Structure 1
Amino acid sequence: MVGKMSDNPFFAPSTLVHELPPFAEIREEHYLPAFERGMADQLAEIAAITADPQAPTFDNTVVALERSGALLRRVQLVFDNQNSSDTTPAVQELDAELSPRLAAHADAIHLDPELYARVRALYEARDSLGLDAQALRLLERYHTRFVRAGARLSAADQQRLREINAQLASDATAFRQNVLADTRARALVLDSPEELDGLSPDAIAAAAENGRVLGHDDKYVLSLKNFSNQSQLAQLTDRAVRARLLEASLGRAVATNGPLAIRLAALRAERAALLGYPSHAAYVVADETAGSVEAVSAMLARLVPAAVENAGREAAELAEAAAADGVGELAAHDWAYYSERVRQASYDLDASVLRPYFELERVLHDGVFFAAGLAYGLTFTERPDLTGYHPDARVFEVFEADGSSLGLFLGDFHARDSKGGGAWMNELVQQSELLGKRPVVVNNLNIASPAPGEPVLLTWDEVRTLFHEFGHALHGLFSDVRYPLFSGTEVPRDFVEFPSQVNEMWMVRPEVLANYAKHHLTGEPLPAELVARMGAAENFGQGFRTVEYLAAALLDWAWHSVPAGQEIADAQEFEAAALAEAGLAVPAIPPRYRTTYFSHIFSNDYSAGYYAYIWSEVLDADTVEWFGSNGRTVRESGETFRAGLLSRGGSVDALECFRAVVGRDPEIEPLLARRGLL
């Protein structure tokens, strides 16, 4: 039942700064009425477009489409963020109910024959409409969207497409919820601090605090991160505990999500066939910068042999260290531990010694924000007067060099039982000149909460993640486009990771590292010799990391290259065969994600797109070289990168943006050098 306008904070635009959602007023019972009214309002707006007696014009059709769905957009951005960042049983139940309804709503728009006829008429006359470049691209993108959504199919095929889309939405939601539930359930509960030997005192204290929060008083709990190889494997000295931790990680959701993965892959293959593609992978990549299955396959195939060879050399070195401890055969749960041991011996670099120099607040303010000031002139002011969606979600106002307000940034850095694993960026308000919106973005991480009164000390990988996710945030904050369809990170999936990966370079820039890497007690800078050893050790372990990643990317590719009608009997057997065929059946290196908890591809937007990370890294490595060798100041280079790429969103072809900045097509050699694959 739709409530009254005055009852629901979603029914009118927020009056807060930059339309920050009024989280203090939003309650779970507001979501369903807002979704229902939002869908009804948008369908009424679509009906008004198709009922217009005037001939279709860019304004009365395409711009009207862009203006439609304001309420639905408002509630969906907030709901999606809560569902990933601070979910509850009620939110999950609503997600399961709404997912197929929202899929049906999208189909009602994209499969509306009268609406598509208007878009098609404009598209066919596009050269005579006198549109500027951004408007022309918007028309072309809408036409592509309608076609890829099935607007040209017969009525019978469209009906089957609707059924497929509804089932896919339901199954993806179930997959995601199963991963979250089993990730919680399989957290490793330990009885004594001795079992955590090797972890730092603050990490042991955090495990005790985690146990208290999760109802395991006087126990120590290691909650699982979303990826396979848990970070504590590198420090835990007890081999049996390491084995239990990895077993808990690798075994997630096998019974529930194996069958779901098979069905999701089959439905996607059937949908691709309906739309005229040989596989879901072919359907996806046709609208990405890669352009073809052959291009992706060739890049991945080029990387696999060198990565496996590199990992083999590393394995031999680790096996020697393991043998000295009486370990006969290097197992998957041993790799990270002995890798850290060899790293310490080879480079005199103990990762645990680094953590006191990476205190969260200092890394955030004197590292991440400082780098954004150097490159782009930004400043940040925390706004405790503005309420986030959770007590951990802090709100910062972002200012330009001239003092004008650019937008809002929310930082939600700590792990909790209600949050999904991993790290990500969401938009709460999308920038658009047409709608008069400024950007509001949020970064989510999963850093363990410390014991009360203790500092939050980061690992080197967590520092990297903080810089990475802020790169996504900058992509959203710098958006300067006219139309919502192009806002911020609305770019091809195999391009979206590029700006975030580029932003990682600031963590090791000497002027930035020196500004934030200071001991949290003494304020002493990270010693120069440690900095030098960190640089020397940067390529250590690249074989493992590249094989781990490629195994996940090629597993995704295998699932989504299956043609319609091919039956898969068992998900784990399919996974093993796919890895063997790709040359990546390396028992000691599990894929970064195994099938049954690979949420990126089965419940998020990365299906047949996980290759995007390394495809984007080609652009990233090339751009980092450009930053260091173009003869400009950091500020000048930052402004060029912002103006030519970060601000453009999807309003310009992605690779044209790259060429506008770097001045040429991308080259793969910088990536190969970075990964130790030359």
Structure 2
Amino acid sequence: MKKLFLTLALVTGAWQTCNAEAPAAQVTIGEQEPHPFFRDALLPAWSQMTPEQLLVDARAAMEEARKRRQTLLQVTPETATFDNTFLAAARINAQLQQVQCYMMHLMNVASTPELMQAQATMQAEAARFQAETAGDSAIGHLLEEAARAPWAQQLSPARKRYIEQALKRRQMGEASLSPEQRKRLAEINKEIRRLSLQFYKNLGNSRNTWELEVTDPDMLDGLPERWREKAAKAARAKGIGTDEKPAWLITQGNAHEVLTHCAVEETRRQCWLGTSTHCQENEALIYRTMELRHECAQMLGFRNYADMQAKERMTGSGEKALAFVDKMLNALKPLYDAEIDAYLNRLGQAKGEPITKLNPWDEAYLSHRAPAPATPGFDSGQLTPYFETERVLRGMMEIWEHLLSIRITEHPTVQLNHGEPCPSGKVEVWHKDVRFYTVHDTSTGCHLGSFYLDLYPRRGKRGDGWTTPIRFGHEGEPHLAAMVTNITPPGHPHLLNHGDVYVIFHEFGHLMHMLLGHPELPEHHAMSVERDFIEMPSQLQEQWIWEPEALATFATHHKTGEPLPAVLARQLAESRQNSPVSDTMRMLRHSKLDLEINLYFHEKFKGRPLDEVAAELLAPWQLPYSAPTPSDMRTVHHTMNPGYAASFYTYIWSEAMSMDAFSRFRKEGIMNPATGADYRRCILEPGGSKPALELFRDFMGREPDSAAFLQRFGANQCPPDSKIPTR
């Protein structure tokens, strides 16, 4: 996302673009800025971004966009330049995009009912505004003429790439359609949105409406008293059962405990049927969506929707994405088969009889009684005393300061009420717990970027973790981003588990990508890289949390200061090597089905039950169940999300790319600053100014390979051709 705003506190040492240090300067303005949601300044004034101001600024931004469009249309072939055509077209809606980015950020970190209402109003108005110029043919003709001009042939490679990208997007978008086709496309998109909303509504309803009433306490044998008390209370709240004749209510919310702990097979069977076979009505919605996606893709000149999604990705086509998934499925199958054999043997011992076909309702119950063997003597909880929050954060930053030749400095912050001036030397934040840092190049002193750090959960803040760009700097200006997590709230001492450390390192990878990218054009920022490459830096930087050499920089006992014992560091690495392949196979199965249905809906799916087709396509890589298991496509949000459609494979794709890139660090030294300098120069700094495949080749000196990814699972036999298929 892009975000800009008023600087109330200007720490000049932090903000002079290429000055290492300077005294702090105070900005004491407390009155309301005219348009805080899109004012072009280095730091935002969060306290001035009220719900009322959101609507004022959004409307002003839309009016400014109309003026910019009219200015662009005054350009003639004789007066055309790159800046007044292609860049001007790219930035018509820049202020509106800034408003939307600030709005979404605040919705994620400081949501209120008033802001939600203002967002709904603003989004409706923005949709109507964007419909005004959808498929603007006049601008399209102007850009096509400009691209043919002699000056366009003399531009830098980055600008030539941008022209090619801009024309391709227009040719593959609404601008290439007739008025009748644009009308039909609008109808298609409207219907797809309606189908998606119904899909999510059905999903929510099924979670809220399915229930199983139990009146015989013997049917709940094995469930703890705590569960029974809550289930009885839920039943009474619905008028079911009495104190004398109690009843218990099983719902989507408590069914997992039933499947895991209930000793009565019939109860588990009924529970599994209710929880796994819901949302049958979503199948028709999925099929209709696939019909519409296919029509949309063909209208825009593609064979199918998967190819349309892949047009600006490393794969280049849906078939190549599917080839990658199939290659990974087949390469991991021997390991998976051995794992399944051991798994069924373990469950059979728990059941007291051999298992060749597993009842799906028995799986959680038996797995709980026969857990997978762990690394001998290792419990990940043993690591927690060595992961004190401040030491982890400082150690992580020290690793990347060393590898990337940067300096990270924290600055004082303040949360302001509306209208309050910002004290000298402080940076305004949206919550008192948010921290602020600047990033400088150690050799030049240049200010590369800054970031907010929002670590802890609270009311009004979205769950999970993410990193969002707030402002991509123009012409050498520093970038601004926010790294947001929901790790365990502060305590005494404030300790993290290994999962928390993973989240922090992963998100910091995104942060470095956003802040250290300095391409020629701001439009080629880090988030403009191909979607199947965007997770590569974050997944690469995860790798350090498993390495003893890296752990030594931040894993020290919170009481004694002693470093993490070598035996624990070794066991942690071994636990990863011994991690089950089944989780990855589950993602690969879903990736395959996602691609197959978006590639071959008419050939393989239309007119046939979804479960039947899914069972055929995935049979070689499924557990041998005794009963048909429904496809999870009916209940997975990605199915109907256009951002993930025909794209679920990118999770595994980027992991394979990152493991391959890490193999160079492993070979040359994970703390080798020369390798880190190459990583910064080849991967981080160019942003999207070059194709991702070129970035990867520049760093690795060869094509991407899946061998390191497969060897992570202990696959000694890699495919004869382990190269990752690209365009």
Q: Shorter-chain TM-score: which interval?
A: 0.7 to 0.9
Rounded to whole Å, the distance in 2 between the matches of 1:256 and 1:550 is: 25
Rounded to whole Å, the distance in 2 between the matches of 1:327 and 1:22 is: 66
Deviation at 1:113, TM superposition (A): 0.6
Rounded to whole Å, the distance in 1 between the matches of 2:36 and 2:198 is: 27
Deviation at 1:185, TM superposition (A): 11
- Give 1:13's aligned amino acid: R
Q: Would the alpha carbon gap of residues 322 and 585 (structure 1) be closer, same or farther in structure 2, given more than 3 Å must change?
A: closer
Rounded to whole Å, the distance in 1 between the matches of 2:561 and 2:544 is: 21
Structure-2 residue corresponding to 1:213: none
Rounded to whole Å, the distance in 1 between the matches of 2:448 and 2:273 is: 44
Rounded to whole Å, the distance in 2 between the matches of 1:88 and 1:424 is: 20
Rounded to whole Å, the distance in 2 between the matches of 1:565 and 1:89 is: 47
Q: Does 1:274 align with 2:299?
A: yes
Structure-2 residue corresponding to 1:70: 94
Q: Which runs of 5+ in 1 are unaligned?
A: 187-192, 198-223
For the 8 Å contact 1:480–1:647, the answer to whether it is kept is yes
Equivalent residue runs for 1:421-460 within 5 Å: 421-433=463-475, 437-447=477-487, 449-450=488-489, 453-460=491-498
Equivalent residue runs for 1:292-441 within 5 Å: 292-323=317-348, 325-326=350-351, 331-333=362-364, 337=368, 341-344=371-374, 346-366=375-395, 368-376=396-404, 377-385=406-414, 386-402=427-443, 403-415=445-457, 418-433=460-475, 437-441=477-481
Deviation at 1:142, TM superposition (A): 0.8
Q: Does 1:473 align with 2:497?
A: no
Where 1:409 maps in the other structure, the secondary structure is strand
Q: Would the alpha carbon gap of residues 586 and 441 (structure 1) be closer, same or farther in structure 2, given more than 3 Å must change?
A: farther
For the 8 Å contact 2:347–2:367, the answer to whether it is kept is no
Q: Would the alpha carbon gap of residues 332 and 69 (structure 1) be closer, same or farther in structure 2, given more than 3 Å must change?
A: farther
Where 1:516 maps in the other structure, the secondary structure is coil
Q: Would the alpha carbon gap of residues 304 and 122 (structure 1) be closer, same or farther in structure 2, given more than 3 Å must change?
A: same
Rounded to whole Å, the distance in 2 between the matches of 1:8 and 1:140 is: 37
Q: Which range moves more in the overlay, 573-582 or 479-488?
A: 573-582
Rounded to whole Å, the distance in 2 between the matches of 1:87 and 1:419 is: 6
Q: Would the alpha carbon gap of residues 122 and 549 (structure 1) be closer, same or farther in structure 2, given more than 3 Å must change?
A: same
Deviation at 1:372, TM superposition (A): 1.2
Cα distance per residue 1:37-74 (max 9 Å; x no partner)? 32332232122211334543322211212333232122
Deviation at 1:626, TM superposition (A): 1.3
Q: Would the alpha carbon gap of residues 631 and 311 (structure 1) be closer, same or farther in structure 2, given more than 3 Å must change?
A: closer
Structure-1 residue corresponding to 2:680: 642
Where 1:606 maps in the other structure, the secondary structure is coil
Structure-2 residue corresponding to 1:49: 72
For the 8 Å contact 1:103–1:169, the answer to whether it is kept is no
Rounded to whole Å, the distance in 2 between the matches of 1:554 and 1:305 is: 12
Structure-2 residue corresponding to 1:221: none
Cα distance per residue 1:377-419 (max 9 Å; x no partner)? 3323154233433455433223332454322222333445645
- Give 2:36's aligned amino acid: F
For the 8 Å contact 1:425–1:442, the answer to whether it is kept is yes
Rounded to whole Å, the distance in 1 between the matches of 2:555 and 2:642 is: 35
For the 8 Å contact 1:476–1:488, the answer to whether it is kept is yes
Rounded to whole Å, the distance in 1 between the matches of 2:407 and 2:201 is: 38
Deviation at 1:270, TM superposition (A): 2.4
For the 8 Å contact 2:517–2:684, the answer to whether it is kept is yes
RMSD: 4.4
Q: Would the alpha carbon gap of residues 524 and 577 (structure 1) be closer, same or farther in structure 2, given more than 3 Å must change?
A: farther
Q: Would the alpha carbon gap of residues 631 and 326 (structure 1) be closer, same or farther in structure 2, given more than 3 Å must change?
A: closer
TM-score, structure 2 normalization: 0.75
Q: Would the alpha carbon gap of residues 250 and 140 (structure 1) be closer, same or farther in structure 2, given more than 3 Å must change?
A: farther
Equivalent residue runs for 1:486-525 within 5 Å: 486-525=524-563
For the 8 Å contact 2:410–2:435, the answer to whether it is kept is no
Structure-2 residue corresponding to 1:285: 310
For the 8 Å contact 1:432–1:480, the answer to whether it is kept is no
Deviation at 1:642, TM superposition (A): 0.9
Q: Would the alpha carbon gap of residues 152 and 28 (structure 1) be closer, same or farther in structure 2, given more than 3 Å must change?
A: same
Q: Would the alpha carbon gap of residues 169 and 635 (structure 1) be closer, same or farther in structure 2, given more than 3 Å must change?
A: farther
Where 1:442 maps in the other structure, the secondary structure is strand
Q: Does 1:547 align with 2:557?
A: no
Q: Would the alpha carbon gap of residues 159 and 496 (structure 1) be closer, same or farther in structure 2, given more than 3 Å must change?
A: same
For the 8 Å contact 1:173–1:603, the answer to whether it is kept is no
For the 8 Å contact 2:261–2:365, the answer to whether it is kept is no
Deviation at 1:87, TM superposition (A): 4.0
TM-score, structure 1 normalization: 0.79
Structure-2 residue corresponding to 1:658: 696
Q: Would the alpha carbon gap of residues 122 and 332 (structure 1) be closer, same or farther in structure 2, given more than 3 Å must change?
A: farther
Q: How many residues align?
A: 627
Cα distance per residue 1:257-294 (max 9 Å; x no partner)? 76665554443322112112222111111221111222
Cα distance per residue 1:457-483 (max 9 Å; x no partner)? 444333222211211111101120232
Q: Would the alpha carbon gap of residues 388 and 6 (structure 1) be closer, same or farther in structure 2, given more than 3 Å must change?
A: closer
Rounded to whole Å, the distance in 2 between the matches of 1:238 and 1:50 is: 70
Q: Match for 2:39 among 13, 20, 24?
A: 13
Q: Which runs of 5+ in 2 are unaligned?
A: 1-30, 211-222, 228-251, 415-426, 718-727
Structure-2 residue corresponding to 1:582: 618
Deviation at 1:105, TM superposition (A): 4.8
For the 8 Å contact 1:470–1:500, the answer to whether it is kept is yes
- Give 2:392's aligned amino acid: V
Rounded to whole Å, the distance in 2 between the matches of 1:417 and 1:332 is: 36
Rounded to whole Å, the distance in 2 between the matches of 1:666 and 1:96 is: 43
Rounded to whole Å, the distance in 2 between the matches of 1:297 and 1:442 is: 34
Rounded to whole Å, the distance in 2 between the matches of 1:468 and 1:495 is: 14
Rounded to whole Å, the distance in 2 between the matches of 1:605 and 1:34 is: 28
Cα distance per residue 1:625-673 (max 9 Å; x no partner)? 1123248972111111111121111111111111111112222222221
Q: Would the alpha carbon gap of residues 623 and 75 (structure 1) be closer, same or farther in structure 2, given more than 3 Å must change?
A: same
Equivalent residue runs for 1:248-267 within 5 Å: 254=279, 261-267=286-292
Structure-2 residue corresponding to 1:210: none
Equivalent residue runs for 1:16-27 within 5 Å: 18-19=42-43, 21-27=44-50
Structure-2 residue corresponding to 1:161: 185
Where 1:519 maps in the other structure, the secondary structure is coil
Deviation at 1:544, TM superposition (A): 1.3
Q: Would the alpha carbon gap of residues 6 and 526 (structure 1) be closer, same or farther in structure 2, given more than 3 Å must change?
A: closer
For the 8 Å contact 2:340–2:623, the answer to whether it is kept is no
- Give 1:623's aligned amino acid: A
Rounded to whole Å, the distance in 2 between the matches of 1:248 and 1:516 is: 47
Deviation at 1:351, TM superposition (A): 2.4
Q: Would the alpha carbon gap of residues 335 and 546 (structure 1) be closer, same or farther in structure 2, given more than 3 Å must change?
A: farther
Cα distance per residue 1:477-516 (max 9 Å; x no partner)? 1120232321122111111111111111221233321122
Q: Which range moves more in the overlay, 253-262 or 490-499?
A: 253-262
Where 2:455 maps in the other structure, the secondary structure is strand
For the 8 Å contact 2:351–2:366, the answer to whether it is kept is no
- Give 2:401's aligned amino acid: G
Q: Would the alpha carbon gap of residues 103 and 587 (structure 1) be closer, same or farther in structure 2, given more than 3 Å must change?
A: farther
- Give 1:637's aligned amino acid: T
Q: Which range moves more in the overlay, 575-584 or 604-613?
A: 575-584
- Give 2:99's aligned amino acid: V
Q: Match for 1:37 among 60, 63, 75?
A: 60
Rounded to whole Å, the distance in 1 between the matches of 2:119 and 2:194 is: 9
Deviation at 1:445, TM superposition (A): 3.0
For the 8 Å contact 1:176–1:603, the answer to whether it is kept is no
- Max Rg structure: 2
Structure-2 residue corresponding to 1:608: 646
For the 8 Å contact 2:37–2:49, the answer to whether it is kept is no
